[in-house]
Amino acid sequence: MTQQPTKPTRFTFRTLILLLLPIILLVGVIVLFLTTGGGLDLESAAPVESLDIEHYQLTQNVIELHVRNTGPEAITIAQLVINEAIMPFTITPNTDIPRLARAVIHINYPWSYGEAYGVTLFTSNAITFGVDIPVAFETPQPDSATFWGFTLIGLYVGVIPVFLGIFWFPALRTLGRRTMTFLMAATAGLLIFLGLDTLAEALEFANEVPSTFQGIGLIGIGAVATFLLLDAISKGQTNTSADETQRRLSIAFMIAIGIGFHNLGEGLAIGAAYNVGEIALGTFLVVGFIIQNITEGLGIIAPVLRDRPSVKNLAVMGLIGGAPAILGAWIGGYTPSPFLAVLFLAIGAGAIFEVIYEIAKLIQKDTTREAMPMTIFSGVLSGMLLLWVTGLFIK
Amino acid sequence: MTNKLSRRDFLKAGGLTLLGAAGTMGANTLLHAGHDHNTVNTKIPVAPAMQHDEHNGNLPNVVGEVDHEKNGFNPDDILTDFDYGEISTLPTGQTLREYNIVAHNKEIEVVPGIVYPAWTYNGRIPGPTIRATEGDRIRIHFSNGSNHPHTMHFHGFHSGVMDGVPGSGPGGNVLPGESFVYEFDAEPFGLHLYHCHSFPLARHIAKGLYGAFIVDPKVGRPPVDHEFIMVMSGFDVDFDDANDFYGVNAIPFHFQNHPIQIKVGEKIRIYLVNILEFDLINSFHLHANFFQYYPTGTSLTPSEFTDTIIQGQAQRGILEFTYRYPGMYMFHAHVTEFAELGWNGMFEVTE
């Protein structure tokens, strides 16, 4: 069998023309279609309109709606109804909103604290768009008090539980090898549970993203990109350093990053929930929350139990895992954006699943000398059950 | 909804507690938001200029003004537009009143910025107010200039073939481009109405095919200074079989923004018809006054002295009253939801 001589690749004028030909033809087809309709009767009886009410702001006697036209054509806002009353309003920059443009609708309305309101917008084509204000209260403005409040939330939700988990380090490192493998498996179980949870939340937020921005596609992009990127980084490290200790440390860091994104998503959700006035259910739940999230700290340190990571490394990992909750609370509280929430949660899901993959590889290495199928099984199951059972107390 | 709390719900809850604990939302500040405002009720019965006052932006109202000229009718004109028809005398000596009525589709700006694909009699909502005296012969040359079958169904005495309902003969289903002559004697005296009776009935009425039909008693009614016709209706602009806007003589808030001018001591008579589709009842409430009420107008003796009456669909009645003091006086549906969705008006009473 003779080898075909490989032709040298040359970029000629001919290649350029051949590359451009389909594009030129495409332009022709589009022009033909736009001018003749291509034989299809595409005139719709009613215009297709889509308006996304991104968020609302309540100040004393004023309701402000921030809207975006996510439909194919410009929209004109004609009238507005609040709780079965037609209300005068002003709109900036203009009552005509071009495609994908935003506008702010200002209504002088004597809303009452703690009551519910429904706002309906009528476009000039009599198509209605509504938003519910489930509990009315003054929207927090970015001042030092709310800033500190959101910071505290992040501390309780993210930083404190993660560090509490890390404080188990001295005790756990006295355990035997088999127990450590069990803990690794348990961490994998925890992460599977968290990964599913993160994905579910991303899907939930995806429903709120305007259809133009394709929430589900966004999840795919965020999750797959993060998974492959972390995988590439990890493989690069394997190639450059043969040091097992170093490798386990970097896996611990990656777990911290994954959990960090998860907590960022949680922070976003809390901030956004606070903004729409969801009601607090009591301090018992906060305690329950700390109990459940303490397992996240445990997960971070599991791969490095047999090593001697520096206190500094442990502290940095704790911050990476917990502090994003603070950032999330700020973003969610001040500029709630379903788009960002989906993106962060998707990144979190991708990171978590990649870390599970890394842990699986570590466990596989551990079990080459001695197979421990029941240890792995019971470990993974324990990890998942731990989150499930602690969840029972708080849901 | 709260039965199935997700992990995130829990997180929200926990976070909120914390935020509360952080003392970021002073409860006092929050409570103030609910009590500092002036309520709508305290603001309404004031001078008309206040309605457009920038400090009074809390009053329900539309933004802008509909193009009455383009619509082809103005609720102000409808108020006093009584159509006595083309009058002649039959060989029997009976008075004949002839009307030409055309049903056609028409785009009508029902609230500023929203054009509704209405169906109309003679291009207006409500249709012409047909007025005759008890015993007159009514002859209506009805033609259908639209692309749907329509009819005219009158309330009153007439033969079955003149009833204008499907199954009653050619007058019960006047096809596009066709016409029919409805003929009957105006009986009994009172305040009646007419409307289209084609299927689907609710849609045919809601789209605008209705009008008032007044039959005066032979002896006449006592003279008054002003007679007004008010037809209460609504518009379902997004076709979900629920009204979005309400009004009297079609256009929401018209008489709030253009108060009806009357004088102290003048005798006022209102012919009030309710043709509101989809909602069970409608009502009329007069501020700072009481009126004599003649249900269906079929008696010359009032049945009630009141300031509020309710009417189901096709119920109607005559109101008579006089204002004692000058001022701005509201009249509106005391189904307050309708009032704030457009069925609200004002009398401006001067010395």
Contact B22 A153 (CB under 8 A): yes
Any CB–CB contact under 8 A between B326 and chain A?
no
Distance from CA of B2 to the nearest CA of A (A): 10
Measure the N-to-C terminal CA separation of chain A; round to a whole number of Å: 69
Q: Helices (DSSP H) in chain A: which residue ranges? A: 13-36, 144-154, 160-166, 169-172, 177-206, 215-240, 244-275, 283-301, 311-322, 324-334, 338-366, 373-394
Q: What is the DSSP letter of B161?
A: G
State whether A230 and A358 are in the same domain.
yes
What is the model's pLDDT at position A386?
85
Q: Which of B15, B60, B114 sits opposite A85 (nearest CB)?
A: B60
Quick check: B242 contacting A, CB < 8 Å? no
Backbone angles phi, psi at B53, to 5 degrees: -70, 140
The answer to whether residue A6 is domain-embedded is no
**CA dihedral of A210, A213, A218, A222, whole degrees rounded to 10:** -110
- Asked if A138's CB is within 8 angstroms of B29's CB, the reply is yes
Judgement on whether residues A272 and A150 belong to the same structural domain of the protein: yes
Asked which of A107-111, A178-182, A293-297, B233-237 is least confident by mean pLDDT, the reply is A293-297
What pLDDT is recorded for position B175? 95
- Cis geometry, peptide bond prior to residue A93 (ω within 30 degrees of 0): yes
**pLDDT, tens digit (0-9, with 9 covering 90-100), for B204-228:** 999 999 999 999 999 999 999 999 9
Chain center to CA of A100: 23
- Averaged pLDDT of chain A: 82
Judged by CB atoms closer than 8 Å, whether chains meet at B14 and A391 is answered as no
**B positions 92-121 inside 8 Å of A (CB):** 111-116
Chain A interface, mutation test: which of B3, B18, B61, most A Cβ atoms within 10 Å?
A: B18
pLDDT value of position A138: 84
Average of per-residue pLDDT across B308-331: 97
Structure tokens that stand for B145 in this block: 């200039």
A61-75, A122-136, A143-157 — which is least confidently predicted? A143-157
Closest CA to B81 of B91, B72, B89, B92: B72
* Minimal Cβ distance to B37: which of A61, A115, A288: A61
Of chain A, the percentage scoring pLDDT greater than 90 comes to: 16
Measure A325 CA to nearest chain B CA, in Å: 11
**Which stretches within B22-173 are classed as H helix?**
27-35, 40-43, 68-71, 75-80
The answer to whether residue B132 neighbours chain A at the CB level (below 8 Å) is no
φ and ψ at B218, to 5 degrees?
-55, -40
Query: Which of A86, A111, A274 is opposite residue B15, by nearest beta carbon?
Result: A274
CATH number, residue A77? 2.60.40.1890
Instruction: Report how many helices (DSSP H) and strands (DSSP E) chain B contains, helices first.
Output: 8, 21
pLDDT reported for residue A183: 83
What is the model's pLDDT at position A336?
Answer: 67
A175 shares its domain with A126: no
Of B15 and A252, the one with more pLDDT: A252
- What mean pLDDT is predicted for residues B258-264? 97
Asked whether the beta carbons of residue A274 and residue B12 sit closer than 8 angstroms, the reply is yes
Greatest mean pLDDT among A16-20, A93-97, A153-157, B264-268: B264-268
d(CA B282, CA B291): 17
Taking an 8 Å cut-off on Cβ atoms, the answer to whether A289 and B10 are in contact is yes
Give pLDDT tens digits for B222-251: 999 999 999 999 999 988 999 999 999 999
Q: Does B49 or A17 have the greater pLDDT score?
A: A17
**B271-318 confidence digits (pLDDT tens):** 999 999 999 999 999 999 999 999 999 999 999 999 999 999 999 999
pLDDT exceeds 50 at position A78: yes
Contacts A282 to B, Cβ<8 Å: 13, 17
CA-nearest of A258, A262, A263, A234 to A248 is: A234
How far, in Å, are A69, B51, B285, B290 from residue B323 at the CA level?
Answer: 50, 22, 14, 9
| Cβ pair B237:A84 closer than 8 A | no
Q: Nearest residue on chain B to A154, judged by CA atoms?
A: B15
B53 CB within 8 Å of a chain A CB: no
In this predicted model, what pLDDT tens digit does every residue of B126-158 receive, in sequence order? 999 999 999 999 999 999 999 999 999 999 999
A229 and A369, same domain (yes or no):
yes
- Indicate the pLDDT class of residue B57, thresholds 50, 70 and 90: low
Percent of chain B residues topping a pLDDT of 90: 81
Q: Is residue B176 predicted with pLDDT exceeding 50?
A: yes
CATH superfamily, region B68-350 = Cupredoxins -  blue copper proteins (2.60.40.420)
Chain B residues in contact with A79 (beta carbon < 8 A): 62-63, 111-114
In this structure, are A125 and A158 located in the same domain? Answer: no
| Nearest chain B Cα distance for residue A256, angstroms | 20
Minimal C-alpha gap between B320 and chain A (Å): 29
Mean of pLDDT values over A237-244? 66
Tell me: do A86 and A234 sit in the same domain.
Answer: no
pLDDT at B19: 45
Q: Hey, is A184 helix, strand or coil? A: helix
pLDDT, position A238: 64
CB contact (8 A) between residue B18 and residue A286: yes
pLDDT value for B9: 46
* Over residues A32-52, mean pLDDT: 76
Q: What phi and psi values does residue A108 have, to the nearest 5 degrees? A: -85, 110
CA B283 to chain centre: 10
Residue A283: list chain B partners with CB under 8 A: 17, 21
Lowest mean pLDDT among A184-198, A274-288, A289-303, A325-339: A274-288
Confidence band of B30 (pLDDT split at 50, 70, 90)? very low
Q: Is residue B194 pLDDT above 80, yes or no?
A: yes
Is A270–B10 a contact, with Cβ atoms under 8 angstroms apart?
no
- With the C-alpha atoms ordered A393, A171, A316, A187, is the resulting torsion angle positive or negative? negative
A274/B57 CB distance under 8 A: no
Residue A294 pLDDT level (bands cut at 50, 70, 90): confident
Contact list in B for residue A61 (CB cut-off 8 A) is 36-37, 58
pLDDT exceeds 70 at position A367 = yes
Instruction: Give the pLDDT of residue A291.
Output: 67
pLDDT of residue A55: 82
Does residue A230 sit in the same domain as residue A324? yes
Please give the pLDDT value at position B58.
66
Q: Which chain B residues are closer than 8 Å to A105 by Cβ?
A: none
Contact A140 B12 (CB under 8 A): no
Residue A278 has pLDDT above 60, yes or no: no
At B11, the pLDDT band (50, 70, 90 cuts) reads very low
Q: How far does the CA of residue B333 sit from the closest CA of chain A (Å)?
A: 13
The chain B residue lying nearest A277, using CA atoms, is B16
d(CA A278, CA B2): 11
Chain A residue nearest residue B52, CA to CA: A88
Q: What is the mean pLDDT of residues A205-216?
A: 83
Q: How far is B65 from chain A (nearest CA, A)?
A: 11
Nearest CA in chain A to B340: A85
Are B10 and A285 inside 8 Å of each other by CB?
Answer: yes
Q: Which of A74, A108, A133 is the last residue of a domain?
A: A133
Query: Taking CB atoms and an 8 Å limit, are A157 and B58 in contact across chains?
Result: no
- Share the mean pLDDT of chain B: 87
The reply to whether A2 falls in a domain is: no
Predicted confidence at residue B138, as pLDDT, reads 97
pLDDT at B291: 98
Number of structural domains found in chain A: 2
Task: Find how far residue A93's CA is from the centre of its chain.
Answer: 31
Residue A347 located in a structural domain: yes
For residues A326 and A275, membership in a common domain is answered with yes
Last residue of a domain, one of A106, A133, A160: A133
Q: What is the pLDDT of residue B7?
A: 42
| Helical axes A324-334 vs A144-154, angle rounded to 10° | 140
pLDDT at B22 over 50: no
Report d(CA A79, CA A29) in Å as an integer: 40
Mean pLDDT across the stretch A254-272?
79
Give a yes or no: residue A103 inside a domain: yes
What distance in Å separates the CA atoms of residue B250 and residue B124, rounded to the nearest whole number? 9
Across the interface, which of B10, B23, B114 has its CB nearest the CB of A78?
B114
Kindly state whether residues A123 and A149 are assigned to the same domain: no
Q: How far apart are CA B33 and CA B48, in angstroms?
A: 28
Chain B residue closest in CA terms to A58: B33
Q: Which residues of B touch A146 (CB under 8 A)?
A: 24-25
Could you tell me if A128 and A207 lie in one domain? no
* pLDDT attached to residue B25: 38
Pick from A34-43, A307-316, B210-219: least confident: A34-43
Residue B234 neighbours by CB under 8 Å, 6+ apart:
B206, B243, B244, B245, B246, B247, B276, B277, B278, B279, B338, B341, B342, B343
Confidence of residue A8 (pLDDT cuts 50, 70, 90): low
> Containing domain of residue A98, as a range?
51-133
Considering only the beta carbons, identify the residue of A87, A110, A280 that sits closest to B17: A280
Neighbours of B281 (CB within 10 A): 14
The residue of chain B with its CA nearest to that of A81 is B341
Residue A127 sits in the same domain as residue A148 = no
Q: Residue range B14-38: average pLDDT?
A: 39
Three-class SS state of A320: helix
Q: Do B31 and A113 touch (CB under 8 A)?
A: yes
Structural domain includes residue A185: yes
Q: If you measure CA to CA, which chain A residue comes closest to B63?
A: A88
The pLDDT, as a whole number, for residue A197 is 84
In terms of Cα–Cα distance, which of B225, B255, B232, B254 is closest to B317? B232
- State yes or no: pLDDT of A155 exceeds 60: yes
Same domain membership, residue A151 and residue A129:
no
Which residue, of A108, A133, A158, is where some domain finishes?
A: A133
Is B111 a residue whose pLDDT tops 70? yes
Q: Is B28 an 8 Å CB contact of chain A?
A: no
Count Cβ–Cβ pairs < 8 Å, chain A vs chain B.
Answer: 194
